[in-house]
Structure formats: structure tokens, C-alpha cells
Amino acid sequence: MDYVLHILIISGIYIILTLSLNLIVGYTGLAALGHIAFACVGAYASSLIALNFGISPWIGLMVGACVASLLGLVIGFPSIRLKGDYLALATFGFGVIVYSVSKNWVDLTRGPMGLPGIPKFSFFGFELQPVWAYLTLVTVFVFITAFIINRIVDSPFGRILKSIREDEVASLSIGKNIVKYKLIVFIVGAFFAGIAGSLYAHYITFIDPSSFTAMESIAVLLMVVFGGMGSIRGSFIGALILIIFPEMLRFLGMPSSVAAPLRQMIYGLLLVVLMIRRPQGIIGQYRFK
């Protein structure tokens, strides 16, 4: 039972990541490939202040999100002037930089040894020990994130974001300062990714750089595209399927030497088929131009 709850918690954390990346990629049309860097910074910031200064994870969560959005500003500022593939490469590069810093700044992050013993969230002095309690907490954050992002996209502000995705030149011609909007989107997206990272750190209670590799950024992007760009429900579906489906393949009842590579292959095949049959994602409406 705890195993199922664990998978749901991880799914929830990925839903937050997917929703926040969908704001950047699906709604604003910015091909960003370094999203996990924001989660990395959020996770390390909130873990480090909890371990070194004994600051409550609740405050750490906010600090982590704010440090992540600061990184969003730092990464966004030089990158958003780039377009399409170039933006993707630049953000990918920043993702790699953040990963190597977390791995090599041993004095701060303990590098590959990771940070053990990160405190859990506590509620009125009681630590959130049972898995179901943690699932409740993550679920609350998933819905807060979905609620806020839904409000952002379903507004005159969100309309401007979509106009940037549709045609930047036209958007400029009616007076939209697209650089400003792109930067805001980067900061907001990074904020929620920071929350996801911090939730992860205080749940697993151990983090190391291997959780924040470039592959993770790509996985989150896959969830966005798989579920549907520019769709809130799509982000839920994309993250849930791509987390739960590989887990289900565990129970095929094959020897583990066959099962593990087979899982990878079925997963890959699923993506290829989806992209051929439904390039706009399961319930999305938009596709890459």
C-alpha cells in the first residue's frame, strides 16, 4: 500500500513540475529544456537551510521557491532573447551548469555524497511521518499550483502569453513587451518547480545531484508534450501516465534481467507511437510549429 502511495506522491511532484513547465512551453511557446535545474535549486536551498540553521521546512519551501525564481530570472534574462532551438540549447546548457555546480561544490552541497537526514515537514509539532499524510500535503500543493496556473492562463495576461506563442511579431505590433512577459513566465515557472524540488527533498529526506540530471528535464518536457501542450488537465494526465505506466510494467512477471530493458523499450515505443498518432498530446490542442 505504501508503495502505491509513494508512486502517487512522486506523480504529484511531477505534476507540479509539468504544470509549471507547461506554462513556459505549452502556453508561452518557449522551448525550455532545463526545468529540473529550478527544482534542484529549490531542493538544495530548502534542505541546506533546514540542515544548517534548523529552519522549518515550511519556510524552507518558500525560500527554495524564491531562490528558484531568482535562478529563473538569471537564466531567463540572457536566454529569452533566443528563439526556438537556440533557446532550447541555452536552457539545456544552464541545466547542465546547475547540475555540475551541485555535484562539484562539495563544501556546500557535499557533491555526489548528497545531503542525508533532511527533516520532514511537521504539523503543530508532529512530524508528517505516515505516507498518506504526505500524500495529502502534496495533493494540496498540486491543486494550489493547478489553481494558480489556471488563473494565470485564463486571463488577459494569459492571452498575451498565448499570443507570444502564436506570433511574436504580431504580438509586438500590438504593443506587447514580449521580453517582459517571457521573463515573468520564466520566474513563475521556476517558482513552482522550486516548490516541487523542496517537496521532494523533505519527502525522500535525502538528495544528491543524480536526481537532477538533464534526463529529468527531458522527462518533464515529455510529460508536457505527452499530456498536451497548453492544457492543465493534459499536465495531470501526462505526468500520471509517464510515472505510473513504467511502474506497472514491473509486474509483467519477467526475470528482472529482461524486465528492466523491456520497460525502457516499451516506454520509448509508447512515445514514438503517440508522437506519430497524436502530435498535439493526449488532450492538447497545440503542437510545435
Partner 1 sequence: MGILKVNNLVKHFDGIKAVDDLSFEVKKGTITALIGPNGSGKTTTFNLITGFSRPTLGKIRFHGTDITRLAPYKIFNCGMGRTFQNIRLFPQMTVLENILLGLKYQRGGSLTAAIFRTSGMLREEEENTKRAMALLKTIGLEGKRDELADSLSHGQRRLVEIARTLGTDSEFYLFDEPTAGVFPNTIPTLLSIIEDLKAKGKTILFIEHNMKVVMDISDNIIVLNHGKKIAEGTPSEIQNNAAVLDAYMGKRRNRAT
List of residues contacting partner 1 (CB under 8 A): 148, 151-152, 154-160, 162-163, 166-167, 169-178, 184, 188, 285-286
CB nearer partner 1, residue 245 or residue 288: 288
Taking the complex as a whole, the smallest distance from the CB of residue 171 to partner 1 amounts, in Å, to: 8
Least distance in Å: CB of 72 to partner 1? 14
Closest to partner 1 by CB, 36 vs 188, is: 188
Give the shortest CB-153-to-partner 1 separation in angstroms.
8
Which residue matches cell numbers 488577459? 156
Nearer to partner 1, 86 or 157 (CB): 157
Which of 12/158 has CB closer to partner 1?
A: 158
- Residue closer to partner 1, measured from CB, 22 or 109: 22
- Least Å distance between CB 217 and partner 1? 25
User: Minimum distance between the CB of residue 38 and partner 1, rounded to whole angstroms?
Assistant: 18
